[in-house]
Structure 1
């Protein structure tokens, strides 16, 4: 702007929400992450960005990339895939495949999701690998993870088999769980299936290891993990009364501890927080000063209806800041991002919501520009002009 400097404007708006006392969740897990998907709120983060052995929880990345391949046509859901000697050689959790098998992609996905099959993971990986090898697919997994914002994940194999350098953070697993639920709603119900009796073989290995699916608490996913190095972990998700949460943890010492910790995390996330409606899309929250426009200001609003989480017991009032760099030079287009609503909450991380223009503001004509120039000159030199006039 040639005649005035850009300034940062910040002012408060009143929000009827309360900073009631909230008891932080204590967890014995080595690392944990709880995310309210409905409002985009991180409720708990304990060592959540530390890269750790993920065990079978890293199979979620293999599943995600298989879903992508089916969705974009690189792989058909009914396509039959051969089993390599490398895939058949894996021990641990398994579909008990051998090199004479040809298995559909759909069955392999259930084999990974429900049975946690290491062999099924490798069959899918080799089919999608750029060089036909599991190692090649693992490199692709790492590259895709970076594109998705998972910066603390490095993959060496497709199954989570313990090996040096194979690492994921709990936050990254939370990001991945969120993407699986959001990006693939058609496939996601597979995660809630409790049994898959593939080909009638090994009936004792036909049940889902996820301990929360049958508790009647709204849990419908996603993946357990265990190795001696990692301990017991889980990536879970549940939905109650329209709210969905995702929780991730690792490092517990038993299956029972994993089950009990999952119940505790669900209870805490659902019962200690309530959803509060803050703003409706299109409703003006504040207005911003406009420079050289045919209107002096423009309304600021949110793009989507805005709800946030607050402690379940609330009585008082807190404030949030509207922040923008202004005055904002015209022309302005409705929907253009102009600033942010910054909500600071004592018991939760800061939340920043984009604010956009609620209307077009055209650039002013000659008269507008002359009035603006005169105003700026007066603000800058007006007192000196007065003094000179009085002395004349």
Structure 2
């Protein structure tokens, strides 16, 4: 309860703005003031973020692509069978080989008997026939062809087993700490596993590094050898913001789906593993994406190498050094709270040459509700060499009295 003196003060301010003919009694004004305060409280309460959606799955994970902020999770490091989601790594390594010039998009791949005999989802290539890398990639990504996956693995590494070595090496490079592959398809095998968090890491790498190939993941249908097959990601038909990425299913793994959606320059990645049906994985993924977009927003705070501050430089060929951040800095926060962010820079006291480009000179802390949510190094945006003998000597004298 506000003290009566406070109420009188507020009442005086309010009544001073009301024409005398319509002036309310003090009691009436007090009642209205209580209603206003109560309404304000209710409004503030509506800003609270509810708990993430609840559904039955072995694990799930929702993360912002740019900032890396995790918005919802359940057992994200639980080791599970990834099923055909494995093919994300297969496609990623094919792109790596294309980028390195080891293979070409136009290469014709001779289909081996092993690739042709693969069971499960198929592109329906024929043994002994030659198929281009581009066509096989479409068969892998859109049709989830096990035959296409094996054919590409053999073309890149000579054999599927050798390709698996590449897969496990790349998983370590990406920081996928709880992943191990035994094949290029996701066919059930002992010791073949991953986690929701690791799969999200791989998905983000594909989107970031190979945007052209990523466009394939939004294609709804592909026809090869006279056989048309639909993309199994039902979200592509349900939600126009969804542009990928991959389904997976085996009896042990259940129904799995990695999805990504872009809305107003905000991209989210959801991973749902181990649900009971195609509908369940679709509905669960949709609920996670809706939750993220409804209650959060992402902003780019600083651009890479943008000059944020200029500081005095001692003993250098220049008297100042420009500072910024080495990468684009994004923040994901509750909706409607962007203006409440606070940024504080901490710069080293005395900065002396020589300065290397990219050298750390301090840090910037981004806070919300007096809690630091992002910390990033402040670096020199350019190199500065030492000054001549005279300027160094003069600056040394100045520093003695500074």
TM-score of the superposition, structure 1-length normalised?
0.78
Matched, 1:183 2:209: yes
Could you say what secondary structure the match of 2:220 adopts?
coil
Which entry has the higher C-alpha Rg, 1 or 2? 2
Matched, 1:133 2:159: yes
Residue in structure 2 matched with residue 91 of structure 1 by the alignment: 119
Match of 2:399 among 368, 372, 380: 372
Q: Residues 52 and 67 of structure 1: is their aligned pair in 2 closer, same or farther, counting only changes over 3 Å?
A: same
Q: How far apart, CA to CA, are the structure 1 residues paired with 2:396 and 2:369? A: 45
Match of 1:354 among 359, 368, 377: 377
Residue in structure 2 matched with residue 174 of structure 1 by the alignment: 200
Contact 1:289 1:326 (8 Å CA) reproduced:
no
Q: Residues 138 and 276 of structure 1: is their aligned pair in 2 closer, same or farther, counting only changes over 3 Å?
A: closer
Q: How far apart, CA to CA, are the structure 1 residues paired with 2:51 and 2:145? A: 36
Q: Residues 344 and 302 of structure 1: is their aligned pair in 2 closer, same or farther, counting only changes over 3 Å?
A: same
Contact 2:124 2:225 (8 Å CA) reproduced:
no
Q: Residues 196 and 300 of structure 1: is their aligned pair in 2 closer, same or farther, counting only changes over 3 Å?
A: same
The 5 A counterparts of 1:185-334 are: 185-201=211-227, 203=228, 206-276=229-299, 278-279=301-302, 285=308, 300-303=323-326, 306-314=329-337, 317-323=340-346, 327-333=350-356
Contact 1:231 1:251 (8 Å CA) reproduced:
yes
Q: Deviations over 1:228-251 (max 9, x none)?
A: 221211111111222222221211
Q: Deviations over 1:55-97 (max 9, x none)?
A: 1001011111112222333222232222222222221111233
Residue in structure 1 matched with residue 49 of structure 2 by the alignment: 22
Q: Deviations over 1:33-59 (max 9, x none)?
A: 222224443333433233321110010
Q: How far apart, CA to CA, are the structure 2 residues paired with 1:293 and 1:86? A: 66
Contact 1:126 1:133 (8 Å CA) reproduced:
yes
Q: Residues 85 and 234 of structure 1: is their aligned pair in 2 closer, same or farther, counting only changes over 3 Å?
A: same
Residue in structure 1 matched with residue 82 of structure 2 by the alignment: 54
Contact 2:53 2:287 (8 Å CA) reproduced:
no
Q: How far apart, CA to CA, are the structure 2 residues paired with 1:187 and 1:282? A: 28
Residue in structure 2 matched with residue 113 of structure 1 by the alignment: 141
Contact 1:58 1:159 (8 Å CA) reproduced:
yes
More helix per residue: 2
Q: Residues 101 and 41 of structure 1: is their aligned pair in 2 closer, same or farther, counting only changes over 3 Å?
A: same
Aligned-pair CA distance for 1:274? 2.0
Match of 2:366 among 343, 347, 353: 343
Match of 2:93 among 59, 65, 76: 65
Gaps of 5+ in 1: 1-19, 376-392
Aligned-pair CA distance for 1:160? 0.5
Aligned-pair CA distance for 1:124? 1.0
Q: How far apart, CA to CA, are the structure 2 residues paired with 1:227 and 1:288? A: 59
Contact 1:234 1:248 (8 Å CA) reproduced:
yes
Residue in structure 2 matched with residue 389 of structure 1 by the alignment: none
Q: How far apart, CA to CA, are the structure 2 residues paired with 1:191 and 1:328? A: 49
Q: How far apart, CA to CA, are the structure 2 residues paired with 1:58 and 1:199? A: 25
Q: How far apart, CA to CA, are the structure 2 residues paired with 1:328 and 1:150? A: 38
Q: How far apart, CA to CA, are the structure 2 residues paired with 1:350 and 1:31? A: 26
Residue in structure 2 matched with residue 4 of structure 1 by the alignment: none
Aligned-pair CA distance for 1:324? 5.3
Residue in structure 1 matched with residue 43 of structure 2 by the alignment: none
Aligned-pair CA distance for 1:280? 6.0
RMSD over aligned Cα, in angstroms?
A: 3.1
Greater alpha carbon shift after TM alignment, 347-356 vs 219-228: 347-356
Aligned-pair CA distance for 1:289? 7.4
Question: Per chain length, whose mean CA-contact separation is higher, i.e. which structure has more relative contact order (CA < 8 Å, sep 6+)?
Answer: 1
Matched, 1:76 2:104: yes
Residue in structure 2 matched with residue 159 of structure 1 by the alignment: 185
Q: Residues 221 and 348 of structure 1: is their aligned pair in 2 closer, same or farther, counting only changes over 3 Å?
A: farther
Contact 2:366 2:374 (8 Å CA) reproduced:
yes
